Amino acid sequence: MSYSVRFNFPTLAFESPKKFRGTKVCNLQILCSSSSQSNYQDREPGRDSDNGRGKSETHVILVERYENGTSKRYILDDDLKVGTFLEDCGSETNVLQGSHFSDLELSWLPDIIKKFILPSGFPGSVSDDYLEYMLLQFPTNVTAWICQTLVTSSLLKAVGVGSFSGTTAAASAAAIRWVSKDGIGAVGRLFIGGRFGNLFDDDPKQWRMYADFIGSAGSIFDLSTQLYPAYFLPLASLGNLTKAVARGLKDPSFRVIQNHFAISGNLGEVAAKEEVWEVSAQLLGLALGILILGTPGLSTSFPLVPLTWMTMRLLHLWLRYQSLSVLRFNTINLKRARILVKSHVLHSTVPGCVDCNRMEDILSWERFLKPRIVFGVSLEEMFGGERSFSMVKMLLKLYAKEKYVLVVNQQHEINFEVFVAFKVGATSLSVLRSVWQTYWLCQNWGNDDDVFDWLEKSLMELEDRFQNFTQQLEGAGWDTQNINLKVPKELVIEEVSAV
């Protein structure tokens, strides 16, 4: 039988060298197992006050901290049983003194909205003038789109949809429908930027390729408007929505690629020259498109139009894949880390930037790569619900020198899978070390042997060979100072006391 006790109390603001400010309300929930129930039943009121503490001593051995402010404390009692202590903390506005403007302007926003519109780690992940610029840029863009709506109405009148002296209502109605189509499409860009904004730095080649696939699907809706003119608005809106999603993937991905090109800090010039290439290709493409449309019989035969479009689109996708394949990033993301680590574990060598980028599979999803690595899991998930003191003690002792904890999922019998939980202070190098250990375990794992014995062997191999791995990376031209392996912020663990 379990009991739940909940406390509500305020945590006062405090001063620190970085001038943190904030007040929060915490809800504490103690989960007591049935084995501890007798301790509470045997006590009589006031008996513990004689010596200042109760008969049963408990102390916190580690804490899991979640991104939303919730903490789970793992406590050990006199009976060497591990329990949990939940601390549900409300949102807290802790900001640096230099970010007072951010605190002042956005303190009223819910956390879910802040996470949607602001970069991860805000305000520490961006410059101090970021928020002020965006707050002024927002109404600037609003006024621009108001002007665009009015201009669209004038353009439609000029091509014969209504006139200034005739049915102006027809032109206005057509403008509203046209702008509504664009507005529905803009929702797609809003969703992509807010929900997936943290993905593009890791794998820009993959997301740039996916953008073209999704954009191709959007063009199909546009082509079908000729077959169903009565459904022009919904079909065109779906097409715009799909292509807007594609643009939301394309633009940030290509900015990362442009930044890769600008090795001399000349990002502005690289972007300008890219515009020259793109506009030149646009003019040539428009000219060729007009010639194709002028082909006798093509404009009057609807099946020939989508057939020609399909041929050109397949050629376009093939060329896009080829162009992305020639990119040679010297930064290490998770896909390239897997290739490098596997080569070092098996052959004690690492491929160079050219060979590794050529071996990288642009289209593959991380969740389908083998061996499967699940980052940012809780200790309860690692143990399968079992929280014995001996297991926790052995695991924490094994990983005392590491900034992560890794275990093999023994319930997954078909494919090799590991769970990784990161400690407070973990870095990209910690993620890379966990990947190296995973591949060593995958190559040497024996199902019938002791699990902790294999974990200990893998850590010994990691300690002996990882330095050689990093030296080979530097020798092969990899940028070991810019490793794009992000530590999940949803959950980190902190060791409070030795067990």
Task: Say what the pLDDT of residue 40 is.
Answer: 33
pLDDT: which is higher, 350 or 165: 350
Give the residue extent of every domain in the chain. 3-90, 129-261+294-325, 334-495
> For residue 82, what pLDDT is reported?
62
CA 109, CA 97: separation in Å to the nearest integer? Answer: 19
pLDDT score at 148: 57
Counting residues of the chain whose pLDDT is more than 90, the rounded percentage is 20
Q: What is the pLDDT of residue 230?
A: 84
Mean pLDDT on 176-197: 64
- Res. 379 pLDDT band, cuts 50 70 90: confident
Residue with the larger pLDDT of the pair 267 and 163? 267
pLDDT value of residue 141: 62
Per-residue pLDDT, 92? 41
Asked if the model's pLDDT at residue 488 lies above 90, the reply is no
Most confident region among 11-25, 37-51, 226-240, 379-393 by mean pLDDT: 226-240
Give the tens place of pLDDT for each residue, 400-453: 899 999 998 877 667 888 999 998 889 999 999 999 999 999 998 876 667 888
The pLDDT of residue 154 is 60
Res 313: pLDDT: 87
Q: For residue 95, what pLDDT band results from cuts at 50, 70 and 90?
A: very low
Share of the chain above pLDDT 70, in %: 62
Mean of the per-residue pLDDT values of the chain: 74
CA angle 124, 130, 132 (to 5 degrees): 125
Ranking 87-96, 193-202, 313-322 by mean pLDDT, the lowest is: 87-96
Work out the pLDDT band at 344, boundaries 50, 70, 90. Answer: very high
Task: Using alpha carbons only, give the angle 278, 281, 284 rounded to the nearest 5 degrees.
Answer: 150
Does the structure show a pLDDT above 80 at 268?
yes
Confidence at residue 233, expressed as pLDDT on a 0 to 100 scale: 77
Question: Regarding predicted confidence, which is higher, 386 or 304?
Answer: 304
**Nearest to 494, CA basis, from 28, 86, 74:** 74
Quote the pLDDT of residue 19. Answer: 39
pLDDT band of residue 112 (cuts 50, 70, 90) is: confident
- Output the pTM of the full model: 0.72
**Distance from chain centroid for Cα 302:** 43
Dihedral sign (CA 43, 45, 51, 52): positive
Which has more confidence, 216 or 61? Answer: 216
Which residues have CB under 8 Å from 163's CB, separation 6+? 157, 171
* Average pLDDT of the residues in 374-378: 88
Residue 181's pLDDT band, with cuts at 50, 70 and 90, is low
Going by pLDDT thresholds of 50, 70 and 90, the confidence category of residue 396 is confident
The pLDDT of residue 54 is above 50: no
Looking at residue 345, its pLDDT comes to 95
Provide the pLDDT for residue 168. 58
